[in-house]
C-alpha cells in the first residue's frame, strides 16, 4: 500500500506514454491532455506503425485503441517485442464483460470505455507511476549475481 507522499511524488514524475489511436481527433485530444499533465507522448495510428515504433521509443505506458485499421489492440500487445513490460491500457467503444476479459488476458491492466473520463485516466496514470517507481527502486536494490 502506498502513502500519500509516495503517490504525490510518483504523480509528479513524467511518464513516457505511447498512444495508438486511429481516430485523429481522439489521438490529438489525448496527446494534448497527456502533455498538459507533463508526460512525454508519442503516437501511432496503425498497428503496423506501433509495432515498429513502440519498442524503439521505450515507453512506460501504452494506451491503445482496440479497433485499429490493420488489426486490433489485443493483437498489438501480443506481437510487441519489448525489452521490459509496460503498463498497458486498452481503450474501446465496447465495454462488454467479454471485451474486458479479453483485454485482461492480452495483458492490459485496464480497459477503458470511450468516451472515458479524464479523471479516470489520470488516476490510472498515477497508479502506473507509483508501480513503475516501485519497480525501479527494486531494480536498484536487488543485487545482480554473476
Q: Encode pLDDT of 69-125 as tens digits.
A: 999 999 999 999 887 789 999 999 989 999 999 999 999 999 999 988 889 999 999
Out of 3.40.50.2300, 1.10.3720.10, 1.10.1670.40, 3.30.930.10, select the CATH number for domain 4-141: 3.40.50.2300
Give the span between the Cα atoms of 129 and 141, in whole angstroms.
Answer: 18
For the chain, what are the domain ranges? 4-141
Q: Which residue has the cell 493483437?
A: 75
Give the span between the Cα atoms of 15 and 13, in whole angstroms.
Answer: 6
- pTM value is 0.85
Give the span between the Cα atoms of 62 and 43, in whole angstroms.
Answer: 10
**Is 37 exposed, middle or buried, given 0-12, 13-18 or 19+ CB atoms closer than 10 A?**
middle
Backbone phi, psi, residue 84, to 5°: -150, 155
Amino acid at each position: 500500500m502506498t502513502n500519500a507522499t509516495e503517490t504525490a511524488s510518483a504523480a509528479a514524475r513524467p511518464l513516457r506514454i505511447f498512444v495508438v489511436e486511429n481516430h485523429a481527433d481522439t489521438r490529438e485530444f489525448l496527446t494534448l491532455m497527456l502533455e498538459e499533465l507533463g508526460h512525454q507522448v508519442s503516437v501511432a495510428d496503425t498497428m503496423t506503425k506501433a509495432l515498429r515504433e513502440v519498442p524503439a521509443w521505450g515507453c512506460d505506458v501504452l494506451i491503445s485503441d482496440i479497433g485499429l485499421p490493420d488489426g486490433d489492440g489485443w493483437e498489438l500487445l501480443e506481437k510487441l517485442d519489448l525489452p521490459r513490460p509496460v503498463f498497458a491500457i486498452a481503450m474501446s467503444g465496447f465495454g462488454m464483460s467479454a471485451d474486458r476479459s479479453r483485454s485482461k488476458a492480452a495483458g492490459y491492466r485496464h480497459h477503458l470505455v470511450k468516451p472515458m473520463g479524464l479523471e479516470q485516466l489520470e488516476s490510472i496514470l498515477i497508479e502506473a507511476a507509483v508501480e513503475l517507481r516501485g519497480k525501479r527502486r527494486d531494480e536498484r536494490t536487488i543485487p545482480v549475481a554473476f
